[in-house]
Structure 1
Amino acid sequence: MRLTDQQVDYISNNLKLYGLKNQDLKEDILDHICSYIEQAEDITFDQAYKNAIQQFGGYLHINQIQRETNAQLYFKSSKNRKRLLSILQLITAMLIATGSLFKIMHWPYATVLIFIGFICLILLTLPLYFYNKHKDQSLKYQY
């Protein structure tokens, strides 16, 4: 069976109507449904569409796929934020420790190193730390 543009739009609108918001996921599921319908022979479009939705487990299962995809995207971004936070913590600690060593040894630029270390701590490391905490708490309430 060959699908028309109106039928593809109908499927796309139904996916949007049933709460599929992630555009990439919507396109993937639309592609799978269209491929399934095009493979069906000797069946009307409506029947092939119902069968394709049943293959996915119905609209509730499609919404579950949406939630799982969102969770995976969140965990990926969370992992990147935690990696960035670790790097910032290391840089901050190195700046403050090096500045303190320079201060103890009475070497030049000690005050500058300590100052930059504390600026990095106050403006970068602490806000990112609290942002990570906030996002982790919001995820616990969401799932």
Structure 2
Amino acid sequence: MILTDQNIDYISKNLELYGLKNQELREDILDHICIHIENSEATNFELAYQAAIQKFGGYLNINHIQTETNVQLYFKASKNRMKLSFAIELLTSMFILTGCFFKIMQWPYAGLILFSGFALLILLALPLYFYTRYKEKLLKYQS
């Protein structure tokens, strides 16, 4: 069966209507459905479309695919965020400890190093920590 542009638009709008908000995922599933319909022996578009949707497990399974994709994207972003957080926390602790050592030894620039360490802590490390905790709570409530 050969699909027209109207058929493809109809499938795309239905996928968006049933909860596929991720553009790349919607295009991938649209491609799979179109290939299944084009390879089918059916002559009626509606029947071929319903058969293709059922092959995916129905609209409920398509929503499950969307949820699983969101979780995988979250964990990928979370991994990067954890690496950044570790680097910032390491740098912050190094500045604070070095500043304390300089202060004990009464060497110059001790105040500047301590100030830099606490500025990193307040401006970067703590907001990143609380943002990560917020995202984890959101994921827990969604699942």
TM over 0.5: yes
In the alignment, the residues of structure 1 paired with residue 14 and residue 132 of structure 2 have an alpha-carbon distance, to the nearest angstrom, of: 36
2:41 equivalent in structure 1: 41
3-state SS in 2 of match to 1:19: coil
Q: Deviations over 1:36-90 (max 9, x none)?
A: 1111134321121111101100000000001111111111111211111111100
In the alignment, the residues of structure 2 paired with residue 42 and residue 74 of structure 1 have an alpha-carbon distance, to the nearest angstrom, of: 40
In the alignment, the residues of structure 2 paired with residue 133 and residue 19 of structure 1 have an alpha-carbon distance, to the nearest angstrom, of: 27
Q: Which amino acid aligns with 2:84?
A: L
CA apart distance, 1:106:
2.1
TM alignment of 1:68-83, pairs within 5 A: 68-83=68-83
Q: Which runs of 4+ in 1 moved over 3 A?
A: none
TM-score, with normalisation over the residues of structure 2?
Answer: 0.95
TM alignment of 1:1-143, pairs within 5 A: 1-143=1-143
In the alignment, the residues of structure 2 paired with residue 82 and residue 42 of structure 1 have an alpha-carbon distance, to the nearest angstrom, of: 51
3-state SS in 2 of match to 1:104: helix
2:42–2:48 CA contact under 8 A, matched in 1: no
